[in-house]
Amino acid sequence: MIILGIDPGTATTGYGVIKVPDDILGREFRYDIELIGYGNIFTDKEKPMPERLWTLSRALDDLIKKYQPDAIAVEMLFFGANLKTAIAVGQARGIVLMSSAKHKVSITEYAGLSVKLMVAGSGRADKDQVHEGVRRFLGVNGRRRSKLKLKWKGGHLDDATDALAIAICHVLKLAAK
């Protein structure tokens, strides 16, 4: 099963693609998660919002065609103090939802607190704890970890790492069923 995790945003949308055995349902503690790919979709901040959303839509179409995921996991919208940011993220989430429907790929939404709890062990985990949780779930053997040569702190890699955490959260929820 291939899962595409998405951390939506209009400036930067992170994505992470993982693969798990098809018999993941009911597995406990041995998930055999394989990292397939990760990265970011960037839009030009100087462009009008409709053009940025169109760029995001086309890039998501390309990702779905390339990886052919069986499921998409996306972070739910969190209404923090910045309403303007929340509206922009909501627009990006709408594009993600539309793309999943367009390609007939099931989509599941997860709250950020749930993702942190499942991947890092605490709903109040910071970025470093989430990143370490992602590393832990992607394995310790050289074959899987060697693909994870990222600078895990700061910059845009946070978005890709968060997307991987969302995908891993989906695996953990499936395995718990």
pLDDT(155) > 60: no
Query: Which of 32, 61, 62, 159 is an active site residue?
Result: 159
pLDDT(136) > 60: yes
Query: Which of 7, 32, 51, 126 is an active site residue?
Result: 7
- Average pLDDT of the chain to the nearest whole number: 86
Given phi > 0 = left and psi -120 to 50 = alpha, else beta, which region is 46?
A: alpha
Tell me the residue range of the domain where 130 lies.
Answer: 2-176
- Kindly report the CATH number assigned to the domain that includes residue 68: 3.30.420.10
Query: Which of 46, 61, 75, 158 is an active site residue?
Result: 75
pLDDT at 10: 92
Query: Of 168, 151, 156, nearest to 75 (Cα)?
Result: 168
* Annotation marks residue 126 as catalytic: no
Number of domains in the chain: 1
- Burial classification of residue 134, based on how many CB atoms lie within 10 Å of its CB (0-12 exposed, 13-18 middle, 19 or more buried): buried
**Span 54-75, pLDDT tens digits:** 999 999 999 999 999 999 999 9
CA dihedral 173, 170, 141, 67 (to 10 degrees): 150
pLDDT at 152: 43
pLDDT(168) > 60: yes
* Annotation marks residue 7 as catalytic: yes
* Annotation marks residue 158 as catalytic: no
